[in-house]
Amino acid sequence: MSAADYAGRVSFSHPGRDGRNPARRSPADRSVLLWPVLLLFALAGCIPSPSQPRRGWRPPAESPERFRQCVAALRADGAQVDALPDRRFDNGCSATSAVKLVAIGIPVTNLGAVKCGLALPFVRWVRQDVPAAAQRWLGSDVVRIESFGSFACRPVNNQAGNRLSEHGRANAVDIAAFRLRDGRRISVKDGWNGPDQQVRGFLRTLHRGACGRFPIVLGPDANALHHDHFHFDMGSGPYCR
């Protein structure tokens, strides 16, 4: 409900504390009564939830300076990364302002070029969220994360005729499974709705944590095409499912 809709529903049919019928107040009186309500709704619309990207979020424009700052931030977080030259292809795919993640705390398989704006929250998810969730729910450490990749020049859901996927811009990562130090392999496919409550809690904690870092997060509850992995991307959002 908008502030205007809310204001339209406020009733002035009962006498106020001063004995006057509020319906007969002057426009100035009514504005004094309404401005705190309007202010609260305005503030609510301006302050994003700390666990979600700002509504209507759009990725910032790329520039050499932003890229340098992003790479510096990754290295300050302890990640080893290689800056990659921009690449553009005739079919609309591209890998610009991208990096290769050399070492980010936990090895992640099958990653190619990753746009730096995606790499930064991804590295923090890997270095902070994954170890904490593994210890909390599974009592072990994650020693490897299995991915389905990052850059892939294809349309959304790999369906001909769809718009270009964020994978086609090196702006998405798909996560499939986690290898633990104690030898277990936790997969999104088998664990999301599997019989082990601790595994379900682990995967849901990681999914929920990702929703606070990436504008777009898709998992098994999103649709059948994501039954076996988490998809993170930096497209327009937020959307978490």
* CA angle (46 as vertex; 74, 97 as ends), nearest 5: 25
Residues of the chain short of pLDDT 70, as ranges, are: 1-59
* CA angle (148 as vertex; 142, 150 as ends), nearest 5: 105
Residue 224 is predicted with a pLDDT of 95
Could you read off the pLDDT of 2-58 as tens digits, one per residue?
A: 222 222 222 222 333 333 333 344 444 433 333 333 333 333 332 233 344 445 556
Residue 84 is predicted with a pLDDT of 98
Distance between CA atoms of residues 132 and 126, nearest Å: 10
Tell whether pTM > 0.85: no
Residue 229 is predicted with a pLDDT of 98
Residue 191 is predicted with a pLDDT of 98
Using only C-alpha atoms, the chain has a radius of gyration, in whole angstroms, of: 24
3-state helix, strand, coil in the chain (%, to 5): 40, 20, 40
Residue 60 is predicted with a pLDDT of 73
**Helices 64-76 and 116-124: crossing angle, nearest 10°?**
20
The contacts of residue 233 (CB under 8 Å, 6+ apart) are 118, 166, 167, 171, 172, 173, 214, 215, 216
Token pair for 17: 């504390």
Distance between CA atoms of residues 112 and 93, nearest Å: 14
Distance between CA atoms of residues 118 and 122, nearest Å: 6
Residue 137 is predicted with a pLDDT of 98
Q: Are 230 and 216 in contact (CB under 8 A)?
A: no
Distance between CA atoms of residues 142 and 135, nearest Å: 9
Is the peptide bond between 85 and the residue preceding it cis, with omega within 30 degrees of 0?
Answer: no
Could you read off the pLDDT of 228-237 as tens digits, one per residue?
A: 999 999 998 8
Residue 55 is predicted with a pLDDT of 54
In order, the DSSP letters of 62-92 are: P-HHHHHHHHHHHHHTT-EEEE---EE-TTS
